[in-house]
Structure 1
């Protein structure tokens, strides 16, 4: 067992495992965590590790509180082996997905199961102080609720994950010139949450967390190359290539909402540019065009909604379209074609096996999805669409929340970071773990 003594901020000298020892330890843990192996013999067969090494690593993980023994497994002729279980209840992850007009906050166990959650309307333009203060309040309430339900007042927070509706520099956890987030540019989101909860914090674009949620727990499980597209107030995409989330060199890959789809100067996007996809096909754009149709008398149904509520939303347009309103059908179809036109280029360029459509507008009916599909299949390269599936998200509103939790879980259990905290039994109290460099990208 190769170990070195390292000094970590806020801790006494801690034994850190290095080299082949930590690699084999992480391998054993990952096999049990993922369900790929449930017994010691299965671990040996799948990992190629010898029986003695497997026994040593399992014993250490049990001593650290990460694994526990369960029922007897199936016998292959001799004595039935004891099954192993990952202790998903050993700690919790605090997760939050912030949208343009809402927040979704939750407490998640170490296997990605949501234990408690809360959603409410919120305006991201209110600024980081007001929005994050509310996020922290809700997280604290949910954490107290979970501790009470599990009768464990000492249940520790192992990490915090948060998705934001704008570009994020992943290395620092700071928003970078987000078009719809006034006051957020450069705000130290990670530092603030790390101080409050004294635990590692990761921050990413919300669409990346949605893509990760689908990859780990949704309809993209087992896939290697996917494109997740969120159609909500704004539009964004998350890319998974070779089973790895692709963030780009600065973390802004997939920001398709502000890709140009028109040269018209009449429509100005919220980012200040003209011709952006979001300005023609996002939820705010649909609401704007629906309002015009109601005011100009081109839609009786939308005019009635406007008279009753004083406003028009994308959901109103969807309901009107489902009731046969011709103008609403045209608005949704037009938006779908704009989105499909850009996606056709991405499909030919990236060649994913699966395109997942999520977000509030995407869940409003089949018309928009049908227009997206028709345009993509018609305009993409035949080889790129031969086996391509375009489907609606199965996680729906939970994708970003679940993905934010898995972002933290994936980061914590890398061999490099696991080596820093496994002998302590928990990464709680070690916010500096976010700065540990990785040898290879996360899978």
Structure 2
């Protein structure tokens, strides 16, 4: 493992080079607030560790031209985004550019041993493709609450067999590098902050809709995780006291009424009750319905599919309106596997938020779909581990 920075100045230099690309020593000195001589000492120390290299001559600022410096091009990080039904694994360089990305179906209910065998196999395929000899670190997202200080899932409702599993410890041994673990919605927020629609926003919420529903909350440029790591678990806010039972053991949770699984359940129930149309045709052909089927049917004009999306968007919009009233964010990002539902979903969410939240909070509030799609989570995972690797020991 490459040695990390030894002080806050070096850590800031590394993060500036990660986020903004190569820069001259003089330019870095201004951003780090160090004299040219002191900055040169810190950069030389980072070059000795192998984290930083020269990168050609900088543009002239008058007088003798200095060299640009950049993060070592051979540094590689692994980003892992585990969902309930699929996993994404990517290799990035130190500037978090995705060099290779694999995705495959999984069943998170099969347990951590089975899932991580698949994840490690995907990482091995990326290495075999020549994308990495080894990893300087790995970030991992899972679809449940995480005690981030230990890298351990805590009673995740849709992840039987995962409670207390030492994800960070197990993977760091298998990958021979540092590992950080977080909730998948937090990592989606980090990904959007680094390379997506939230690049210039310090305060925003990122709602991830998949088999479950979660929310990454960013305040002052930092993910807010709460005291124990459970902040943002909006899928288990009650929206109907007499509603559907939820995997968490409660009843009427948002997740039980609008998520990928809930959408598929309601679509099938409606068709089996006699509704005919595009969804009925799809069920007859395949024997099953998914959230993607609902999205496709809505796009084809199926009235049931459109109504299911509108109702779900209304419920989600009510919860997001509460977040907007409470947090006053500068942006709301909606992402995850169910965003294939597209602008019909977004319209329903916007209607509820703009209707229910105060005008001062919504007057200049964009509510948008994720730009990064399935790459948001893996980029966020790589951001998480570089935050750790590029911090003083």
TM-score normalised according to structure 2 size:
0.95
CA distance in 2 between partners of 1:175 and 1:248 (Å)? 15
The alpha-carbon deviation at position 375 of structure 1 amounts to 0.7
Deviations 1:124-168 (A, max 9, x none): 011111111111111112122235xx7xxxx33111211111111
Taking a change above 3 Å as real, the CA distance of residues 15 and 98 of structure 1, as seen in their structure-2 partners, is closer
Point out where structure 1 has 5 or more consecutive residues left out of the alignment. Answer: 1-10, 418-443
Q: Does 1:382 align with 2:359?
A: yes
Q: Does 1:107 align with 2:91?
A: yes
SS of structure 1 residue aligned to 2:337 = coil
Deviations 1:221-253 (A, max 9, x none): 121101000111111100000100011111111
TM-score normalised according to structure 1 size:
0.85
Aligned residue number for residue 56 of structure 1: 41
Deviations 1:22-50 (A, max 9, x none): 23323333333333771122122222212
The alpha-carbon deviation at position 322 of structure 1 amounts to 1.6
Aligned residue number for residue 341 of structure 1: 318
Aligned residue number for residue 350 of structure 2: 373
Stretch deviating more after TM superposition (24-33 or 124-133) = 24-33
- 5 Å-filtered alignment, 1:28-427, equals 28-35=13-20, 38-87=23-72, 89-147=73-131, 155-265=133-243, 267-415=244-392, 417=393
CA distance in 2 between partners of 1:66 and 1:15 (Å)? 8
- 5 Å-filtered alignment, 1:420-435, equals none
CA distance in 2 between partners of 1:30 and 1:237 (Å)? 25
CA distance in 1 between partners of 2:68 and 2:276 (Å)? 63
CA distance in 1 between partners of 2:23 and 2:271 (Å)? 60
Aligned residues: 393
The alpha-carbon deviation at position 107 of structure 1 amounts to 1.6
CA distance in 1 between partners of 2:387 and 2:66 (Å)? 29
Taking a change above 3 Å as real, the CA distance of residues 28 and 314 of structure 1, as seen in their structure-2 partners, is closer
Stretch deviating more after TM superposition (319-328 or 369-378) = 319-328
CA distance in 2 between partners of 1:95 and 1:36 (Å)? 20
8 Å Cα contact 1:277-1:339 kept in structure 2: yes
Deviations 1:406-434 (A, max 9, x none): 1000111112x2xxxxxxxxxxxxxxxxx
Stretch deviating more after TM superposition (67-76 or 191-200) = 67-76
Taking a change above 3 Å as real, the CA distance of residues 59 and 358 of structure 1, as seen in their structure-2 partners, is same
8 Å Cα contact 2:239-2:253 kept in structure 1: yes
8 Å Cα contact 2:151-2:167 kept in structure 1: yes
Stretch deviating more after TM superposition (91-100 or 176-185) = 91-100
The alpha-carbon deviation at position 16 of structure 1 amounts to 9.5
Taking a change above 3 Å as real, the CA distance of residues 17 and 28 of structure 1, as seen in their structure-2 partners, is closer
Taking a change above 3 Å as real, the CA distance of residues 55 and 254 of structure 1, as seen in their structure-2 partners, is same
8 Å Cα contact 1:28-1:54 kept in structure 2: no
SS of structure 1 residue aligned to 2:334 = strand
Deviations 1:268-298 (A, max 9, x none): 1122211100111111111011001111222
8 Å Cα contact 1:293-1:302 kept in structure 2: no
SS of structure 1 residue aligned to 2:374 = helix
Aligned residue number for residue 27 of structure 1: 12
The alpha-carbon deviation at position 312 of structure 1 amounts to 1.0
CA distance in 1 between partners of 2:5 and 2:321 (Å)? 48
CA distance in 1 between partners of 2:309 and 2:44 (Å)? 58
CA distance in 2 between partners of 1:387 and 1:15 (Å)? 44
